[in-house]
């Protein structure tokens, strides 16, 4: 996609990742959580940049043959440009090439943008966790994508 690059998340991205996380996530992860993810051998995190500015990130945990998408965010000024889709496609490609057969994630039931993006990539709704999010008790939709390999 013109103008956007995807690369592995590094320690040097951390300040920009934290800024983006605070803008995008109603319950932002702490910096120590991201730091732990960078040294977690079961975790893969990517960032998207535009003219060297970090504009998005996404990651997953490898659990046996399942890729559990943990987090994704795109800066509001760069939304609807295909960055979220690009990051998810790269996540799924990475999972596929490392022998994962499926992917799963949880998403707020009211998050139409994310649910629509995931459905476009082939994820289907498979369950609902009532009152899952501690702060506001919003339900979580559980989605799965099978047949990666």
Ligand X SMILES: CC(C)(COP(=O)(O)OP(=O)(O)OC[C@H]1O[C@@H](n2cnc3c(N)ncnc32)[C@H](O)[C@@H]1OP(=O)(O)O)[C@@H](O)C(=O)NCCC(=O)NCCS
**Residues near ligand X (CB under 6 A):** 24, 72-74, 79-85, 107, 111-114, 116-117, 120
In the complex, least distance from residue 130 CB atom to ligand X, rounded to whole angstroms: 17
Separation of alpha carbons 10 and 98, rounded Å: 20
In the complex, the smallest distance separating the C-beta of residue 85 from ligand X, rounded to whole angstroms, is 3
- The least CB distance from residue 124 to ligand X, in Å, is 15
Identity of the residue, 1 or 149, whose beta carbon is nearer to ligand X in the bound complex: 1
- Which residues are the active-site residues? 106, 118
Using CB positions, name the residue nearest to ligand X: 84
């Amino acid at each position: 996609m013109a103008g956007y690059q995807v690369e592995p998340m590094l320690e040097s991205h951390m300040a920009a990742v934290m800024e983006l996380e605070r803008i995008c996530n109603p319950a932002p992860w702490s910096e120590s959580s991201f730091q732990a993810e960078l040294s977690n051998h079961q975790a893969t995190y990517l960032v998207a940049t535009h003219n060297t500015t970090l504009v998005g990130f996404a990651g997953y945990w490898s659990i046996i043959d399942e890729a559990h998408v943990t987090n994704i965010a795109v800066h509001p000024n760069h939304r609807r440009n295909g960055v979220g889709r690009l990051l998810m496609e790269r996540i799924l490609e990475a999972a596929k090439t490392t022998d994962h057969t499926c992917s799963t994630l949880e998403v707020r039931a009211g998050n139409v943008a994310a649910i629509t993006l995931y459905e476009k990539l082939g994820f289907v709704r498979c369950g609902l966790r009532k009152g899952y999010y501690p702060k506001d008790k919003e339900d979580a939709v559980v989605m799965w994508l099978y047949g990666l390999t």
